[in-house]
Amino acid sequence: MSSLLVAQVDDLSGYARFLVGRSSQADDIVQETLVRALTSFARYDPRRPLRAWLRGIALKVAHKYWDSARRDGSDGPAHRRARVSREEVPTPEESLVRRERADLLYRAMDTLPLRLREALVLHVGEQLPAEEVARMTGTSVTNVYTRASRARAMVRAFLAEQRREQAGEEETR
């Protein structure tokens, strides 16, 4: 049993970082997810993929993190790193542009309500089927599509507003 869970650590780590951004919080989420999985393994349905079951637990743990961050008044999830392919070695300028774009996208994601953010991360970012996302989040498939669509629209609006602000700043120089 524990060897099955250990084999999922890398996937869970990447998923947790995608959800919360900060590696220390992501590590905490992975650790708590594994503890919860070990203590509730008897309830695991082997007909269901282990990865989906663990990600469902991780999502619940991330909810707890987001709720706590909101209560504490901190900014909650802060995805602050661009993902760079290991085959590519970008120039310093390319790295800066990627980092700025990633920061902008993650700032946009940070403005989303929790339910929209999770639909965007799970269905669009992680490319999980809507049916699986619906099971993980306890909602309908239609609601997953609706939430993902609304999240995309809100992210587009945020990015458009940022471009307008940047254009306005450049005109005043």
Domain coordinates of the chain in residue numbers? 1-76, 90-173
Q: What is the pLDDT of residue 72?
A: 66
CATH code that applies to domain 90-173: 1.10.10.10
- Give the pLDDT confidence of 84-135 residue by residue, as tens digits: 334 455 677 877 777 788 778 878 888 888 889 889 988 888 888 999 889 8
Which H or E run includes 65? helix 50-72
Tokens of 118: 């999770």
| Same-fold call for 1-76 versus 90-173 | no
Architecture of the domain whose range is 1-76: Orthogonal Bundle (1.10)
Give 123-142 pLDDT, tens digit per residue. Answer: 888 888 999 889 888 899 99
Q: Which residues contact 162 (CB under 8 A, 6 or more apart)?
A: 104, 108
Report pTM.
0.55
Q: How many whole angstroms from its chain centre is CA 158? A: 18
- Structure confidence at residue 158 (pLDDT): 93
